[in-house]
Structure 1
């Protein structure tokens, strides 16, 4: 077995709070070897950067859909009737909402 040679030293500073978080994460995976842990995280660690524009669009669609449903419900209570066009509009709104949610989930699954 060939022993790895590590002759380059890296150095960085952390705050006491960051050190505590590192210790907690090390404890959660059952390791006490900080060098091995930091090396593994630096080499294989995963950074996830979410683009919130997609989530904001999903929230916007949810608001539009909720508003449409509330207006439709109010009209039904006032008139006692519902129109097919209203149902179609609501269905289209739900389709856009679920389409956006599915797109976001597919992108997250690809991470």
Structure 2
């Protein structure tokens, strides 16, 4: 067994301490030092970088929304809805769903 001769100190707020104690109790570890050591060595920290995917989905949603508004104006003015406009919207929605599925797949792989 390794000699434990180094000390780590850090401060936490009251709510953080309560949450740490609750999580420690949930896993059944009695010693705070043992719990913190185990979490520091074996715990998982996840940092997500979804900027590109979310930006793409946001842009597609914006385009879809703008197109819908334009089509609604045309329909209200002329009473006509064009098949080509509907196909454009369907294509945008397909892209949005494909991007969302890819993003959810990435998240589920974590």
TM-score class normalised by the smaller sequence: 0.7 to 0.9
Aligned to 2:22: 27
In 2, Cα distance between equivalents of 1:95 and 1:6:
57
Q: Helix, strand or coil for the counterpart of 1:53?
A: helix
In 2, Cα distance between equivalents of 1:37 and 1:46:
14
How many angstroms does 1:6 deviate by?
4.1
1:26, 1:32 within 8 Å by CA — same for their partners in 2? no
Q: Helix, strand or coil for the counterpart of 1:48?
A: coil
Aligned to 1:14: 10
Give the direction of change, closer, same or farther, for the CA distance of 1:107–1:22 in structure 2 (3 Å limit): farther
In 1, Cα distance between equivalents of 2:47 and 2:33:
26
TM-score by length of 1: 0.79
Q: How many residues align?
A: 106
How many angstroms does 1:10 deviate by?
4.5
Give the direction of change, closer, same or farther, for the CA distance of 1:39–1:108 in structure 2 (3 Å limit): same
Q: Helix, strand or coil for the counterpart of 1:49?
A: coil
